[in-house]
Each structure stands twice: as C-alpha cells, then as structure tokens.
Structure 1
Amino acid sequence: MATNQNIIGKRVIRSDSLAKVTGTADYTADLKMPNMLVAKVLRSPHAHARINSIDVSEALKMPGVKAAISGFDGYGIKWGVFRYTQDHDMLPTDKVRYIGEDVAAVAAVDEQTAIEALSRIKVDYELLPAVYDPIEAMQDGAPLIHDQYKNNINIHVNIEEGEVDKAMERAFLVREDTFKSAGEAYAMMEPYAVVASYKNGYLDLWMPNAGPHVRAKAIANLLKMPLNKVRVRHINSGGAFGGRSEVAPGDLVASLLAIKSGKPVKLVLSREENATSTRQIHDMIATIKTGMAKDGTIVAKDYRVIYDGGAYSSTGPIATSIPYYVYEECYRLPNVRYNGYRIITNKGIRGMYGCHGRAFMGGNEAQMDLMAKELGMDPVEIRLKNGLTAGEMTATKSKITSCGLKETINITSEKTDFKKRWDRTQSPKGIGMGCIAIMCGFPMGFRSLSTCYLKINDDGYVTLVTGVVDNGQGNESMVIQAASEILGVPMEDINLVNADTEVTNLDPGAYSQAAAFVSTNAVKVACENARQQIATIAAEKLGVPETDIALKDRLVYSLDNPEKKMPLRWVVREAFARATPIAATGTFFPNIDLKREWISRPWGQMAGTFSYATSVAEVSIDPETGEVTVPHFTAAHDCGRAINPMAVEGQMEGSVQQAGMAAITEGNLWDGGHLLNPDLLDYKIPLACDMPEIDAIIVESIDPAGPFGAKEGGIAIRMNAYSAIACAVTQATGTLFKEFPLTPDKVLELVENGKEEKR
C-alpha cells in the first residue's frame, strides 16, 4: 500500500459539507430569475389511449398565461439511449401509454394561473385496451403498446457461454427456483425540477442530472440545436440513485416554454408527480437454475429473467443486462445462459438503479446457500470456491485486474463469527451473506472518457475545470482532494468549476460508477502535467534536478535539501513572465472494448476495473407478526484505495439503507395502471429508527490503473445488501424466500412454511 501521500487516504471533511448543512447550497427549485414563469404539466388520465387532438387555445387566452405547448410544438424526435430504442416522444402526438404521461404544458405568471390554465386544455382521447402484467403482455393477442415490439418484447438480451445443457446434465446437484421483486421508487428527497432560460438563440438549463454532457446532447437532439447553444449548468442534486440518468420530459417542456415565451421558466414536480411521471425501478421475475459439482463448484447457470419496463425503452439494453453482469464479474461461470426480457407495459417508465436487480441477485445468493447446505458446505466456503480472483476472465471475456473479494468474504466472516452462527438453528434469528462486483466505467462510446483542464493563478491558487458531476457521492470533494495531493496546496486553495457543459469537456458523469476511476484519473493526469511545468522552472531556479523537486504546503522545495525552497506563487509568476503560464490538460480513457454492445456483441472488456464487496446481515424475526428487524450489519468493500475513507464509509452506510433495509419495506403497489403509493407516507422508506448498527470495513486492493489505486466506492455494497438480508431471512425461517420486499405478511408465511417442513 502506498504510504507517501499527504492527503490521499486521509479522513477529510467534504468540500460541499458546510453549504449543505447550513442550507446555503442551491438546488434547482431555489433558483430565481427576473420575470420567471411557473410551468405546469397536463398529464394523461388514461393508461392507453389514442390522441385525436390537443387544443391549447383556451389556455392561451387566460390573462397571465405566456405560453402553452403540446407535442405538436416540437420536432417529433423520439428519445432512446440507443438508436434502436428511440421510441419515446417526450410529448406524444399519437397516443398516451401510461397514467401520468406528459401531454401538454403551460407557463404562467404564477402557480394558480398555470393550474387553472391546464383545465382549459382540451384533449380528445380514444381509449385503447391496456396491459399491466409483463407475462400477459408477452402473450399472443395482448394489446400492442408500440407497433415495432412484437409481443411487447422491448429488449431480449441473450448471452450463452460454454455448453450449459451438457454441464447441467453432468452436475451432481441441480436446483431451479423463481424469485420476484416489486418495482421501487427512487424516492429522492428532491422532487424533479428544471429551469430553462432562452436568450439570443442560447438555451441555459439547470436540473439534477447524472451526466450534464449526456443530458445536453439529448436536449440538443430533441430541439435540433447545436451543442454549443445548449448549456446544462452546475446545480446541486438532492438525490439520483440512477433516476436522473436520462433526459426527462420536463426538460423538453421547460425548454419549449422558455423558447415560446422568451422568459425563464421553472417547472417543479409534486411528490406524486415525481413518483408517477419520472423514472421508476423495474419489477422483476427471475428464474434461476444452477448446477453444482459435488465439491460445490458452479458448473452451470441458466437464467430466464423478465423485467417490467413500463411504457418506453429508457435504458432498456443496459437495465436488462446489468444484474447478470455484476454477478458474472463476481463468480466463475464456465457454462452460462442468460435470457433477459424487458417487456413494455402500460405503466410508468422504468430506468437504471444503483441497486438494480434484487430478485436476481438475492435469488442467486439465497439459492447458493441452500445448495451449499445440501452439499455439507457453508456459505463462506462455497463463495470462496467460486469467487473470481485477479487475473481471471469473466464469462463474457473481461479481465479482472484487481480483486479483493476473498479478503471481503474472510473479514466479514471473522468479524461476525459467521460459520458457527450459520451452522446452528437460530430461529427467530438469522444471518446471511451476499457478495457482488461492480464495473467501474462501462462502455459509453467516446463519452467513456473524461477530460480535465487546470490553471494556476498568479497568486498560486488553482482553478480546476472538469465535467464530473456530484449527486451526493462526494465526487466534487474527491477530485479536489486528488488535485491537492499532487499540487501540494490545501483543498481550500482549489476552485472547482464542474458539471457545466459549455466550460468543461466530456465526462461520463456519475452514470457508470466512473467518477473515481475515470474522472479522477483525468484530474490526476492534468495535475501531474501542471506539476511537471512547475518542476521545470523550479529546478532551474533552485539549481537542482527536476526529479528532486517536491510540492507541499504551497511550497516548491528540494527533496535532498529542503532548505532550498520557494513559494509556489513565485514559480507561477515566473511562468507568466516567460509567457508560459501554468496550465494543463489531462484525459483518461478506461481500457474497455468499444466494440462491445449490450445486445449484438455482449463480450469483450466491460470496464477498466471492478470493485468487490461482501455484506453480512443479522436479522431477528417476530414469529407472531413476521416483522423483520436488523440489529447489526457488517459490510466490507474493496474500493481499490479509499481516497477519503470517511466518504467511502458514508456511501457504504447509505447503501445498507437504500438496498438492505429497503429489502424489507420498499415496493410499488399497483391497481392496474394506477400507482397506489406515490408519496412518502405510503411508500415505506426505511427511517433512522429502522437502521442497524453498521460495521463498515474498507479493503484496499490498490488497482494498478486507478488513481492512487482507487476504484468505485459504495455501489458494490448497494448491489449485495438485499442479498444478505434475503439469505438471513431464509436461514432464520428455514424456507427459501420467493419475493421482495420481505414484508411481514410474506415473512410470516415463510415462518409457517418452515414449521410445516420441520413437521
């Protein structure tokens, strides 16, 4: 482990902390501009209906209404992450496909006027039959929601490596189970909001997003505008979790209203609109068939997974693939077949999630435990036997360059005395383990790279310009900490300019776990290039070799003779005098196979590296009510190198809440196409009083390509926390769980089934 850093690896207070805890941080809804208008959206009351006409003329006659739009005011360009998934007209003109879909909008001088204006918009609908269940939607004769998707199959991801059927026939033990999980809400604290301002042909936008450059490109396409006239600006984000990954209908609505009215427009969604009319998380049905050798080696896996995708493609190919990939990045799968189907239904659109795939991952891990028990093994042994190690390849041909999986398994096992506690019957208590891996920066074409600019001002203070975006993870503070280390100045001396598309260059954003591995690497390269410029001048001035130059505490000095030193600002001023100011660029492109494609070519290097994690949950079940409580949770995470251990621990703790505790409370409830729990009263987010005592353990594998050895920090725990809970409940009840969330009614049924099996 590297030990010669001054600030890397230290527990530092995040640079954004003060503004957020004092309430001075600005969010989109806080923005105020002269003559700003209020926008409101008219939404579909129908799950499936043809639009015969939309008339906004009466709304425009109202005093105070400055603009009114429908899809007929746009260019009819459909959004899709890929060319073959471009099916979403942000303001439809043909038909509506879910309750709550954006249909028309107004901008008025105040909220009351805007709401009244919506009631004057006339939409002539022709009702169509709807389908809400993905299994029903796949059947012949089901209502067709998009003409181009036969049997409403939006995406079919087929991966097959090895000889699955032959391996399954030779297996000593074979088991097949089906698991379900309800869709979830992202439930960000900040409901979606967007501000648009249009002046002199230039469009400025503010909204929470996971990648400003990706968002700007999408909006430019929808509006047929050049990229240098669409500017997504920096703003704080009140939560993302995958739900801010794509362009939203609200972005187009606010933009069109600003263009039409010539005034700034603010659209703020209600809590209910945030649940029904922005992205949600896929419902899932996962059938998992596993074949094992007598010694517990996995010899074959056969999957059929059905995802309820809602009304449009969204991130379809990615969402249908990720649950499988994070599993194959963790375990050795010599023979594997994966068939993932994303199905279109008349429900709200489903997108990506930081802990996507809980039925799949939880099912794999819980099934593994039962098979281990049947073979006379324990969960620790079987995971160590099948877990990947550095230097190995995944089933779809990604090389693992660093891997601390074994260490995370061993340390959580030892900390919790796992083997002894799992071996004995504990009912109504249980203990469970979950493991997973996460790719760091998956292929996004040329947008996979990050570029950083850097300048040092004549007083020695630094300006850092990077496209990195922060959705609460601490990305902004992380890149400042990296620059501070290399340039030898305090973090407070660095001004960060970021997440503004007109002044920064391309960056993959926070969308693909790329901020630490990709974006920080670009910052590191830029700072090293600037440091070399400093060293060249300082070496000449101090009369020492360039290799003898060091930077620390705003000073440039000789390593061999520290008495030879000068302030950094002197070197910078000398550079200005020579007409060679200290300015540098750094770019980093991860080692990925750009020919890899989610459907047509699902093999090749998926990411530059992979992070690993193991979670152990301890649960207690009330045998009378089925209520599950989690007194203690242990999580170990191989994040490569913790740039800021305190920030990594915070992400780990948040992951336990978002995925682990959510496994027993969170799930969308539906009546046909109506979402029954679109608010935070009926949608049960775990509260502080529900949280366990958490032991967060950092394991450092020091990735060879990561900045200072770093990889992503946090999401690997998010992707396995619910598996640990599911395995613990299965162990406590003696019965395999079948469905998330593990609410008291379902758990009580497991308890009763366990009693029956014992009889």
Structure 2
Amino acid sequence: MPVEQSLIGSRMPRVDSEAKATGRAIFTGDISLPGMLQAKVLRSPYAHARIKSIDTQKAEALPGVRAVVSGMNTAGVKWGVFRYTRDQKLLPQERVRYVGEGVAAVAADTLEIAQEAASLIKVDYEPLPAVFNVWDAMAPDAPLLHEDHPGNINVHVAIEAGEVEEGFAGSYLVREDTFTAPEDSYFMTEPYAAVANPRQDGSLELWMPNAAPHQKAKALANALKMPLNKVIVRKSYIGGAFGGRSDVFPAEFITALLSLESDRPVRLCFTREENSLATRKGHGMYTIVKTGMDKQGRVLARDVTCYMDGGAYSSTGPIATSVPFLCHEQCYRLPAVRYNGYRVYTNKPIGGMYRVHGRAWATGVDLQLDIMAEELGLDPLELRLRNARQAGETTPTGSYVQSCRLSQCIEQSAEKAGWREKYGKLPAYHGIGLGTNSVQTGFPLGIRGGSAAIIKFNEDGGATLISGVVDNGQGNDNMLVQIAAEILGLDPRDIQLISADTEATPNDPGAYSMQATFTGGNAVLLAATDARDQIFEEAAQALEAHTRDLVAKDRSIYVAGAPDKALPLAKVIRMALLKGNNIIGRGSFASKVDHRREWLKNPQGQLSETFSFGATIAEVKVDPETGEVDILNMVLSQDCGKALNPMLVEGQFEGGAVMGGSSGMMKEEHLWTKEGLCLNPGFLDYKVALPLDVPPMENVIVESIDPTGPFGAKEAGMSVAMSAAQALAGAVSNAIGWPVMEYPLTPDRVLNALAQKKAAYGDSKGGKP
C-alpha cells in the first residue's frame, strides 16, 4: 500500500532541539575524561621559513609535562584529499609556509603548564622570501612554496564546451568585467577542538567537529600508520560547518600523537584566533567574466577566468576551484563556455570549501547580467528567465538535470517581492536586485560515495537507527529519524539514533557535499522499507491479510480499510522473536554519477544525480553620504525537491541568507599585514552580522518532487546562501546607479563606486544617469 504521509511535509521540532536549548548537548570542547591532559600548539611566527632545528628539552623537563611532539618524531606522511594534492605534513619537518602553522605541541596536566612548556620549545628558523597575493606568487622570480608546482599554480581547472569564439563573434553585445573579493572566514561559534583517548585494545578514539567521520578515520589511520579499525571517530555535537569541517586538520593528528605518546586522554581546544587561522578560510578571488548575448538577452558565449588565493597547501583545492563554475553551468543555459580556474599557493593560511563558493565568482556573473540587461533595455528578471536551466536539459559538462523549477523560484520570488512594480520605479538610492544559483547534490567519491543504514527493533516496538550521516547543525539527525518514523508508523521519539560513529555505523560520504538528505536519507528510507516489509510478513498471517493490504501507523499494523483489524507493532516484534527472527532492516544507496569524471583530468560526465536551484530578491536603501546600506527585505526561494520539514528548510534558507548575504556580502573580510599576519582573526575585529543586522526575510519553498530523492527531497539551503550574495550586489548597484565590483559591500567600497559614477556622469542622483 502507498504510504499515507503523516510526518513528511509537517513542521516538527528537531529531535536535538531540547538538548541544545537546555545546554545538555556535548560538544567536543565539553568532553572530559579521567586523567585527561591539556594540549597547546607552538606556532610559527614566520610566513615562510626553513626549520633548522627544534629543541624540546626544556619543555620536556618542566614538571607536569607528559608529552611533547614535533614533526621530527612523526612518519612525515603528507595529507591531501587526492593523491596528487598530498602536499601538507600535518606537523612540518622542513619548512613552515604561513604565520600560525603549528610546529610542535605539548600535553600537560593543566593548560597553564602546557602553555609555559610550549614557550620553552626553541625553534631555529631560517626566514625565506614569501608571497602574499596571487600576482606576486605567479611572478617569474617568485619563491616556490612547493618545488613541484611551477609558478605556484596549485590547481588549474580547464573546461571548455561549444564554440566559444564563434559565440562571441555572433553576439550582439559582448562585455568583460573583473570582480574581486578578499578572504573570509567560516567563523563558527564553536571553536575547533579535538579529543583523543587511547584504549586498552590498542585502538584510539577521537572526537572533533567534522563533516565526514569515515574519511577522517581513514586519513588519520594513514598519517598515524595504524590499521583503520583501530582509529575510531566518535560523534559529538557540532557548532556549524559551512564547508569548513570537510578536511583533515593538524589538530586531530597532533592530539592523537600526544595521546599515544602519553598513553592518556588529551584535549586540544583552539582559541578564537587559532580557529580562524589554523583550520580553513574562504578563498580570496579575482574573477574575469566575459559574456556575449543576442539582442533578446540570451547568452551565446561566456569565458570566465578566476584566480583563487589558496594559501599554503592544497586542501580541497580541485573541488574548491571547480564548484563555482559547476554551480554556474547548472543554473544557466550555456551554448558555449570556457573556464580557467587557477588556485595559487601563497604564504597565507589554507583556503577550503565554503558555503558561498566565492563572492567574486557567482556575484560577478549575476551582476554582469544586470548590467547587460540594462544595456539591452531588458528587465533583468526576464533576462534570467530566458537563460534559466530547465528540467530535462544537460549541462555543458554532461550532467542530465532530472528535476528543476528554477523559473518558478524566480517567478514566485518576484511576485512576493513585488519586483515588476518596483524595478526601475524606486526612489533615489533605493534598489532591488535578483540572484539565482544552483548547487549539486553530491559528486563522484568512488568507494566512499554511498551510504548505508541499519534499523533494529527492541521487544517493546521501539527502534534503533544506525547511520553514518553527520549533523553539522542543519538538522540531518531529525531528517533521518523523520524518514524512518514515517515509513514504520512510529513517533520520532520511538527511534534511537546512532550516527556518525565509525566503529558502529556503516560507511557514509559525509555531510560536506550537499548529499546527506539525498544519499543518506535514501539509505534510511530503504532500510525502513526493508524492516517494514519483514514486519508485514510477520503480521499478515495473524491478521489474515495480504502484505500489500497492510499499513504501518500509530505504532501498529493495520489492514487498510479495516481499522478494527490491527496488531501493535510491539506484539509483531515479539511474535518474530519467538521464532528466532530478529527484524533488522538494511538499506544502501549511492547516487548515479559518472565515476570516470575527475576534477582536473576529466571534468565531463554526470556530476550529481540531481541538483537544487534557488533565487533571492533583495531590496535596499543606500545612504550616499556614508555608504551605509540598509537591507529593507529579502525574499528567499529554492527548489528543494520536497520539503520534508518546512520549518527546518526555512531555517536553512534564513541561515544561508545571513551567512552569504547580510553578513558575508556586507561585512566579512580578512585583513593582512605585509608580513602575512592576519589583523582580524577574532570576534572584536572580524565583522559578522549580529541579530540587529538580520533583515526581514520571507521564504518561498518550491517543490519539484525529485524522482529519486527520498519522498522527492534533495538539497536545501546552499543555493540561497549564494543567491543572497548576488541579490544584494545587484540591489546596491541598482540603488546607486553604478555597479560595485569589489566585495564585501562595505561603506568605503560603496562610496568608491559613487565617486566613480560621479567622475563619469556628474552629480546625478540614484538610478541610471
């Protein structure tokens, strides 16, 4: 019988809400184990230097010190997401490459002793020439950060589809613009922490904020030269990720080394400054966009070149360099397109994947569409609709799009925002802008691309759900339980969840590739369906009914159309147990992707089985005297397939709009000295949106009911984070009548744009001169 949905699509509180609201949720920094030591890392004061020697004798002699480690007593294994990006020793042996890179660490009875001991470690450095921007790094005489990468080019992503030059030649209007943005920070409120505990069986258990426990365990097993089954990554609550927990960091490696050396539990907690500099940051970007259009505003050709400041090591470089383009090609029809993305090594902290995928990339493309629409005398909204991706189409790099309601997102946002009544009709220095974007739901990950789930039952009818999916704060725990409860006819409170623990759970790709709902949710759906089918087999004979006529609902098994013919689920489970039959549901799911596709060598083929799409409209008012921007309203929409829990989907919309929009696009940037020292790594100087900075927001959930997603669901929230940034850039440029191409949209940059306009056109007030 078809499942009559009672939970799916309903607004329900998250299963972890009470623990977080009452303070009972245990984050990694809260973990305390008997005999636990405290750790501190000694960091490099140089942006680039050769390590001549490290003397730890005084630190080791300090009373209360239990272990001291440096790169000199490690196996020197290099970490990298791919074999060809293995360039970072998690404790360096020969060179340091950015200010703040950890060179040694101490575990002691107290944090105060650890801090004193770290200060006693003597490192003899030989300073080396350093480079702090992509242009200096690529100069012919620049020092090489890694000798096997000429020109300090870490990654070059080259993609071309169609006849690009022919497209430009046949275009009515061609325009080229450059857009720039400095590095920004993930700035999670939870500082990074790691805990390691050696066990009597020779295994090592670890806790840390992370997006992919199974991948963390594998990387650490390699670095520690330990069998994979002896490295166990445990679950703790995570205070945000945004792409910044999807890598392997020195912190957990250092903590593991100290724990093994001392044979004691060890905890390492970062300061706020360390959290900004010693994990990951968003890439600084320089993006050159050239677009050709016909008279009707249809894009005929586009050529994008992007230079990304990657910092000292590869990290997720091939992915981070590719994803901005992929989001773009998924969103818009592109008959001919060329992309050259260069990720460049510099002597700065390491750049990683980021939820907004580059302000200067996505925003540059969309703002240029606005400029060209004005030059053609077209409404930017109509121009978007003429170029919007449609279901059933194929992207330039060969991905079939099986579900897409981008046009509906644009139309419904426009209707709610009053676009057609406002565009071109607002008062001086008032503006309205539109952003559109797309994001993939996962990508090829080889043997780690699939997810599995197990469901077992207690004799009282309650269930335990086992899944490797991680919840970084987006509500994945609730999603898993909600799907299982719907299929099994249980209350969510009847299900105990075991997740994100490598010792107990099956493999899962992690929550960093926007596929937790699609991949992990499908695995849970299949496991719950398998369990329900077994339950129906047990109940059918007692109810004198065929299994196809049974329904699971309200903790019971019913015969459809005969509500008096029912058995409590607990009784069915006990009936099975009497026969020696433990009902255990199993489910596995992997997206249909092209495993021949590779980020650099072969960026062609099915990238993801499905894609999400979104549109945001922002309305602003600009003070021409101060450059201050007041965000009056934002309308947020996304095609998320099916909103399993609309309340959580709206929370993702609003969180994304703040991160990418009112905070990321309006305030956030890192500042650096000429020696490579970050000037604003902490809360006092790195500006983020506060509650008073959050604008009024309206949500529009668009459902396309994806044919493969669980109950039709797919990714929700990422498209909004990007489109919010695009919409605000468009709105501010519309308000002042001049495009702003440097981000974030701080008052000085807005005033600079107004000065450029005045120099070009005189003193005309807002709007087109």
TM range (shorter): over 0.9
Q: Could you tell me whether the CA contact under 8 Å between 2:3 and 2:551 is conserved in 1? A: no
Aligned counterparts of 1:558 and 1:132: Cα–Cα separation in 2:
70
- Counterpart amino acid of 1:610? F
SS of alignment partner, residue 563 of structure 2? coil
Residue of structure 1 equivalent to 2:132 = 132
Residue of structure 2 equivalent to 1:90 = 90
Q: How many Å apart are 1:3 and its aligned residue?
A: 9.4
Residue of structure 2 equivalent to 1:73 = 73
Q: Structure 1 unaligned runs (5+)?
A: none
Say whether 1:56 aligns with 2:56. yes
Query: What pairs with 1:220-239 in structure 2 (closer than 5 Å)?
Result: 220-239=221-240
Aligned counterparts of 2:591 and 2:427: Cα–Cα separation in 1:
47
Aligned counterparts of 1:757 and 1:425: Cα–Cα separation in 2:
22
Query: What pairs with 1:264-413 in structure 2 (closer than 5 Å)?
Result: 264-413=265-414
Aligned counterparts of 2:229 and 2:380: Cα–Cα separation in 1:
54
Q: Please give the per-residue CA displacement for 1:21-42, whole angstroms capped at 9, x wherever unaligned.
A: 1111001111111110000000
- Counterpart amino acid of 1:306? Y
- Which of residues 684, 702, 706 in structure 1 aligns to 2:705? 702
Q: Could you tell me whether the CA contact under 8 Å between 2:282 and 2:358 is conserved in 1? A: no
SS of alignment partner, residue 585 of structure 2? strand
Aligned counterparts of 2:571 and 2:311: Cα–Cα separation in 1:
61
Aligned counterparts of 2:751 and 2:408: Cα–Cα separation in 1:
35
Q: Please give the per-residue CA displacement for 1:361-383, whole angstroms capped at 9, x wherever unaligned.
A: 10100100111111121111111
Q: Please give the per-residue CA displacement for 1:698-722, whole angstroms capped at 9, x wherever unaligned.
A: 0000000000000111111012110
Q: How many Å apart are 1:427 and its aligned residue?
A: 2.6
Residue of structure 2 equivalent to 1:670 = 672
Aligned counterparts of 1:70 and 1:544: Cα–Cα separation in 2:
69
Residue of structure 1 equivalent to 2:767 = none
Q: How many Å apart are 1:355 and its aligned residue?
A: 0.9
Q: How many Å apart are 1:437 and its aligned residue?
A: 0.6
Say whether 1:716 aligns with 2:730. no
Aligned counterparts of 1:222 and 1:557: Cα–Cα separation in 2:
54
Residue of structure 2 equivalent to 1:638 = 639
Count of paired positions: 758
Aligned counterparts of 1:54 and 1:198: Cα–Cα separation in 2:
27
Q: Could you tell me whether the CA contact under 8 Å between 1:171 and 1:291 is conserved in 2? A: yes
Aligned counterparts of 2:428 and 2:83: Cα–Cα separation in 1:
52
SS of alignment partner, residue 675 of structure 1? coil
Q: How many Å apart are 1:357 and its aligned residue?
A: 1.3
Cα RMSD (Å): 1.0
Residue of structure 2 equivalent to 1:173 = 173
Q: How many Å apart are 1:754 and its aligned residue?
A: 2.9
Query: What pairs with 1:81-120 in structure 2 (closer than 5 Å)?
Result: 81-120=81-120
Aligned counterparts of 1:171 and 1:270: Cα–Cα separation in 2:
54
SS of alignment partner, residue 307 of structure 2? strand
Q: How many Å apart are 1:7 and its aligned residue?
A: 0.5
- Counterpart amino acid of 2:306? V
Aligned counterparts of 1:575 and 1:354: Cα–Cα separation in 2:
47
Q: Structure 2 unaligned runs (5+)?
A: 763-769
Residue of structure 2 equivalent to 1:263 = 264
SS of alignment partner, residue 250 of structure 1? helix
Aligned counterparts of 2:133 and 2:468: Cα–Cα separation in 1:
40
Say whether 1:685 aligns with 2:688. yes
SS of alignment partner, residue 155 of structure 2? strand
Say whether 1:753 aligns with 2:756. yes
- Counterpart amino acid of 1:77? V
Residue of structure 1 equivalent to 2:455 = 454
SS of alignment partner, residue 248 of structure 2? coil
Q: Could you tell me whether the CA contact under 8 Å between 2:638 and 2:700 is conserved in 1? A: yes
Q: Please give the per-residue CA displacement for 1:260-303, whole angstroms capped at 9, x wherever unaligned.
A: 00000000000011112111110000000000011111000001
Say whether 1:157 aligns with 2:185. no
Q: Please give the per-residue CA displacement for 1:576-617, whole angstroms capped at 9, x wherever unaligned.
A: 111221102100110111111000000100101001100001
Aligned counterparts of 2:420 and 2:761: Cα–Cα separation in 1:
22
Aligned counterparts of 2:98 and 2:752: Cα–Cα separation in 1:
34
- Counterpart amino acid of 1:39? A
- Counterpart amino acid of 2:39? A
Q: How many Å apart are 1:755 and its aligned residue?
A: 3.6
Q: Could you tell me whether the CA contact under 8 Å between 2:3 and 2:487 is conserved in 1? A: no
Q: Please give the per-residue CA displacement for 1:535-568, whole angstroms capped at 9, x wherever unaligned.
A: 1111111001110000111010100312110100
Aligned counterparts of 1:556 and 1:349: Cα–Cα separation in 2:
55
Query: What pairs with 1:9-28 in structure 2 (closer than 5 Å)?
Result: 9-28=9-28
Q: Could you tell me whether the CA contact under 8 Å between 1:522 and 1:587 is conserved in 2? A: yes
Query: What pairs with 1:602-641 in structure 2 (closer than 5 Å)?
Result: 602-641=603-642
Aligned counterparts of 2:90 and 2:528: Cα–Cα separation in 1:
41
- Counterpart amino acid of 1:669? L
Q: Could you tell me whether the CA contact under 8 Å between 1:298 and 1:333 is conserved in 2? A: yes
Say whether 1:580 aligns with 2:578. no
Residue of structure 2 equivalent to 1:217 = 218
Aligned counterparts of 2:72 and 2:24: Cα–Cα separation in 1:
40
Aligned counterparts of 1:394 and 1:612: Cα–Cα separation in 2:
14
- Counterpart amino acid of 1:30? D
Residue of structure 2 equivalent to 1:521 = 522
Say whether 1:734 aligns with 2:734. no
Q: Please give the per-residue CA displacement for 1:427-461, whole angstroms capped at 9, x wherever unaligned.
A: 31110000001100111111111000110111100
Aligned counterparts of 1:365 and 1:544: Cα–Cα separation in 2:
59
Aligned counterparts of 1:139 and 1:538: Cα–Cα separation in 2:
74
Q: Please give the per-residue CA displacement for 1:304-357, whole angstroms capped at 9, x wherever unaligned.
A: 100000000000000000000001000011100000000000000010011111
Q: How many Å apart are 1:753 and its aligned residue?
A: 2.7
- Counterpart amino acid of 1:95? R
Q: Could you tell me whether the CA contact under 8 Å between 1:378 and 1:423 is conserved in 2? A: no
Residue of structure 2 equivalent to 1:657 = 658
Aligned counterparts of 2:444 and 2:719: Cα–Cα separation in 1:
18
Mean alpha-carbon deviation: is it higher for 80-89 or for 437-446? 437-446
Aligned counterparts of 2:753 and 2:442: Cα–Cα separation in 1:
39
SS of alignment partner, residue 154 of structure 1? strand
Q: How many Å apart are 1:425 and its aligned residue?
A: 5.3
Structure 2 CA distance for partners of 1:279 and 1:211, relative to 1, 3 Å: same
Mean alpha-carbon deviation: is it higher for 572-581 or for 649-658? 572-581
Q: Please give the per-residue CA displacement for 1:633-665, whole angstroms capped at 9, x wherever unaligned.
A: 001111000000000000100011100112010
Residue of structure 1 equivalent to 2:143 = 143
- Counterpart amino acid of 2:51? I
Aligned counterparts of 2:595 and 2:92: Cα–Cα separation in 1:
34
SS of alignment partner, residue 740 of structure 1? coil
Q: Please give the per-residue CA displacement for 1:76-122, whole angstroms capped at 9, x wherever unaligned.
A: 10000000000000100010000000100000000111111011111
Q: Could you tell me whether the CA contact under 8 Å between 2:137 and 2:152 is conserved in 1? A: yes
Aligned counterparts of 2:24 and 2:197: Cα–Cα separation in 1:
23
Query: What pairs with 1:473-552 in structure 2 (closer than 5 Å)?
Result: 473-552=474-553
Q: Could you tell me whether the CA contact under 8 Å between 2:733 and 2:740 is conserved in 1? A: yes
Q: How many Å apart are 1:55 and its aligned residue?
A: 1.5
Residue of structure 2 equivalent to 1:570 = 571
Q: How many Å apart are 1:72 and its aligned residue?
A: 1.6
Q: How many Å apart are 1:419 and its aligned residue?
A: 2.5
What is the TM-score normalised by the length of structure 2? Answer: 0.98
Residue of structure 1 equivalent to 2:188 = 188
SS of alignment partner, residue 351 of structure 1? coil
Q: Please give the per-residue CA displacement for 1:448-477, whole angstroms capped at 9, x wherever unaligned.
A: 110001101111000000001000000001
Aligned counterparts of 1:485 and 1:577: Cα–Cα separation in 2:
26
Residue of structure 2 equivalent to 1:590 = 591
- Counterpart amino acid of 2:514? Q
- Counterpart amino acid of 1:193? A
Aligned counterparts of 2:625 and 2:611: Cα–Cα separation in 1:
43
Aligned counterparts of 1:141 and 1:557: Cα–Cα separation in 2:
77
SS of alignment partner, residue 670 of structure 2? coil
